[in-house]
Structure 1
Amino acid sequence: MATKHTLTSEDWIKAAFRALTAGGAHAIRAEAIARDLKVSKGSFYWHFKDVPDLKAQMLAHWALEATDTIIAEIEASEEPADVRLRLLVHAATDDRSLPYGGLLTDGAVREWARFDPLAAETLKAVDQRRIGYVADLLQRSGFSASGSRSGANALYGALIGLEALAASGLADLRGDLIRLLEALLHNREGV
């Protein structure tokens, strides 16, 4: 059995997200996650005060890694805004969510937010940040202020829906998002 020093808090957070994705918020339990990680429950308390502390750290980690880190990565490029939008679609659809539960991770957070005030508050802030960033890139690509917001809502809404469809094998997440983005960019003059 691994010791409490073997695992990091990030290992626990990833395992907690896998539990969330597989079984919902009620599956985020120290004992069950410890079993999944093949460690004692004592290892959990080395990193977290209690399960609410784990949940709060999960949400902060998700906001950072699934939003702020990606935006910083895209902004570090010196590409024009339309190329940054394409880079953003690639980053949003790459394999970085696999250790957290894959394509269904964001959807699991959305479901969790229906019943948990902190998750709802975090989700709303993340959605606003993501939509605002896409709208900014669209505006820098030549869209009007109102057109950039509508385009951002359409692209982000498509991401949310296509993640669920792709998880069921009914959509090509990256391909469909790129095609939608290209259609938006092609019609930017009218928006």
Structure 2
Amino acid sequence: MTKPARKRLRREDWLAAAEAVLAEHGAEALKAEPLARHMQTTKGSFYWHFRDVPDLHAQLLTRWEAAATAATEAAIAEPGSAAARLRALAQALADPGPGRVTEAAIRAWAATDAAARDAVGRIDTARRAALQALLQETGISNPEMAQIIHAAALGMTLLDDTAAARRAAIGSLVDLVLALR
């Protein structure tokens, strides 16, 4: 009797598995052997797709940055007024959906890893710039407001509230800021 053919793993499969392992076990588990065990394959498959573990780390961070950038751009590209787009962006930050666990894990990783810290810094800078631009469109030029909305949205991702509760709360904060105009 022959064994069923195994599905050939792709780099994308490894990166998705690395995200899951990062979310569940933290950055210290992002090594070739534990990942291979998690995927029920050999380390050879890992090294077929990545030069080494730092290469995996770099690609994982690049993947996260691309997804975070796309989510920010999608929120600010929504139709409507600057106030509506500001609210949409703040709500997307407070409720990042399935990437919520990954973002929290990336931020925890950033506490001990310079490359992760740099990636988080770039995303945070871009998000605050987008928030600030939208605030300016509404007539609010105080840059601290962008920082306050960003910090509140990030904090909400740590709460065990429902997505709807997080979105409603950050929406109320945006409405309050807009009322200050």
Provide the TM-score with structure 1 as the length reference: 0.80
Deviation at 1:133, TM superposition (A): 0.9
Question: What are structure 2's unaligned runs of at least 5 residues?
Answer: none
Please say if 1:182 is aligned against 2:175. yes
Deviation at 1:60, TM superposition (A): 0.9
For 1:186, give the aligned amino acid: A
Question: What are structure 1's unaligned runs of at least 5 residues?
Answer: 98-102
Instruction: Name the SS of the counterpart of 1:165 in structure 2.
Output: coil
User: Do the aligned partners of 1:162 and 1:173 also contact (CA within 8 Å) in 2?
Assistant: yes
**1:13-92 equivalence runs, <5 A:** 13-66=15-68, 68-92=69-93
Match of 1:153 in 2: 147
Per-residue displacement from partner, 1:157-190 (whole Å, max 9, x unpaired)? 11221111227x7x93222211211211222x1x
User: Do the aligned partners of 1:155 and 1:181 also contact (CA within 8 Å) in 2?
Assistant: yes
Per-residue displacement from partner, 1:23-79 (whole Å, max 9, x unpaired)? 22101122222332333333222321111101001111111101x212332344342
Please say if 1:109 is aligned against 2:106. yes
Indicate the structure (1 or 2) with the bigger Cα radius of gyration. 2
Instruction: Name the SS of the counterpart of 1:34 in structure 2.
Output: helix
Change (3 A) 1:8 1:126: same
Per-residue displacement from partner, 1:55-111 (whole Å, max 9, x unpaired)? 001111111101x212332344342211112222343325341xxxxx332222122
Partners of 1:137 and 1:157 lie apart in 2 by 16
Change (3 A) 1:173 1:75: closer
Deviates further, 31-40 or 56-65: 31-40
Percent identity over paired residues: 35
Partners of 2:47 and 2:152 lie apart in 1 by 39
For 1:161, give the aligned amino acid: G
RMSD of aligned alpha carbons: 2.2
Change (3 A) 1:77 1:104: closer
Partners of 1:153 and 1:25 lie apart in 2 by 27
Match of 2:157 in 1: 163
Provide the TM-score with structure 2 as the length reference: 0.84
